[in-house]
Structure 1
């Protein structure tokens, strides 16, 4: 084991893991920076519940890691976050970085009522962590180190759905929602409450850093084409992807994906933004 100092905190590493690799792992940088920003709010905000005896990040211990080639893919670590009274906060964390999810809706071009005949493209694939070989969910994918969320979403839509959609045509639901909550993401109220957390859905904030910005796209297609989507096999076989597509009416998606948190979050964001008239107006063709 070895120890070095990063972000003014001692970081202990297991044998075989170098300081250089850890510092190049963007999820580690992002997590520790965001946490320290949140900890700083304790002293800056007199109404903060921990203002009188603020918590401090005192150390980080990396317990395990997985490599993707020559770079870190996942980190498992523990952090010592405690106050002057010696009270500690739970600090076992799995770092994997952000993902993106895409709510892609298809509407028959002759549909008189868009809401009644709106369909959503879902993927059915093995998810070994969930113990399932047929997990139904929205298309999703991990974000690369460059952090290009919209670009990653467009790439995943092409790989998993076979649809070529320019990233500029995607609607960033998470960004739109952040812009209207707590007075906006840059407002004083928002900063005091969340320390400018990333804009996305956190599926398991008690143990994992992953957050998922959610995008949406809709398009009209010939009615005869709708039936071609269900059952189509997609995915990158050389990366172990075995994906089957499923087309489901919008009103039934919550039932089909009741186990998938990102799907339920996408539906809630889209419906909330639609109800408040916050979705971008579609150009008339």
Structure 2
């Protein structure tokens, strides 16, 4: 039996997107999980957005599904998993510091969200994605290796509406003060993805007091301190 026989696409969706949705790793993982853990009667793919010719982005689905014979809410935004890194900068004569990115976030209508460096997996592993994002968002002169990354936890961010799980890591790095000064207020990001990022270097103990931020930033800080 075709495992995709219970899937249809909303009228008006670009037919060229159908195969890309069905092949997307985050869609396949979600669909297999639904078939394994629910009575899945049907999935309607309402819309999908691709990020370039090879990268599938957001997929909006509506599942007709039962659990213990009862219908469950079925609307979900599928976007795949992500990773973030709490960088703990250790420099002689200074308190521990960390690096935050400041960038625009349209979903919350904020042009200046302070948060930890992070990025989407796009089919890669947590560790390799973390290193890639740090290079893009912080800079290659801050040398972070896979052996430096320590896992804190993995959590779902908004399981009532989105499939995204995030792997939280930290890395303790011994640096000199000239590098710390070069990092402060550095502008980074990929212009091809319309990323315009400014780095903030702050005392680690000041992180809970930066104002409203996202869950990964506060949770990483608390989990890191719980390990000390």
TM-score, normalised by the number of residues in structure 2? 0.88
Aligned residues: 222
Q: Indicate if the aligned counterparts of 1:110 and 1:223 stay in contact, CA closer than 8 A.
A: no
Q: 1:35 Cα shift?
A: 3.4
Deviations for 1:45-72, whole angstroms, at most 9, x for unmatched residues? xxxxxxxxxx522211100111223343
Q: Indicate if the aligned counterparts of 2:40 and 2:65 stay in contact, CA closer than 8 A.
A: yes
Q: Indicate if the aligned counterparts of 2:40 and 2:64 stay in contact, CA closer than 8 A.
A: yes
Please state if 1:20 is matched with 2:6: no
Secondary structure (helix, strand or coil) at the match of 2:172 reads strand
Instruction: Give 5+ residue unaligned stretches, structure 1.
Output: 40-54, 112-116, 175-199, 276-285
Q: Partners in 2 of 1:13 and 1:261 — Cα distance?
A: 33
1:36/1:238 Cα in 2 relative to 1: closer, same or farther (>3 Å)?
same
Secondary structure (helix, strand or coil) at the match of 1:227 reads helix
1:81/1:250 Cα in 2 relative to 1: closer, same or farther (>3 Å)?
same
Root-mean-square deviation over aligned CA pairs: 2.1
Match of residue 92 from structure 1? 75
Match of residue 77 from structure 1? 61
Q: Partners in 1 of 2:173 and 2:144 — Cα distance?
A: 10
Moved over 4 A (4+): none
Deviations for 1:211-269, whole angstroms, at most 9, x for unmatched residues? 11011111122234433322111111222111000011111112215321110121122
Q: Indicate if the aligned counterparts of 1:143 and 1:149 stay in contact, CA closer than 8 A.
A: yes
Secondary structure (helix, strand or coil) at the match of 1:102 reads strand
Of 138, 152, 160, 2:137 maps to 160
Mapping 1:132-281, distance limit 5 Å: 132-145=110-123, 147-162=124-139, 163-174=142-153, 200-256=154-210, 258-272=212-226, 274-275=227-228
Q: Partners in 2 of 1:257 and 1:246 — Cα distance?
A: 14
Match of residue 3 from structure 2? 6
Q: Partners in 2 of 1:144 and 1:94 — Cα distance?
A: 16
Q: Partners in 1 of 2:219 and 2:89 — Cα distance?
A: 19
Instruction: Give 5+ residue unaligned stretches, structure 2.
Output: none
Structure with max Cα Rg: 1
1:226/1:68 Cα in 2 relative to 1: closer, same or farther (>3 Å)?
closer
1:32/1:269 Cα in 2 relative to 1: closer, same or farther (>3 Å)?
farther
Q: Indicate if the aligned counterparts of 2:45 and 2:62 stay in contact, CA closer than 8 A.
A: yes
Q: Partners in 2 of 1:70 and 1:80 — Cα distance?
A: 30
Deviations for 1:2-54, whole angstroms, at most 9, x for unmatched residues? xx9526x61111342454322210001111223344x2xxxxxxxxxxxxxxx
Secondary structure (helix, strand or coil) at the match of 2:199 reads strand
Match of residue 39 from structure 2? 56
Secondary structure (helix, strand or coil) at the match of 1:204 reads coil
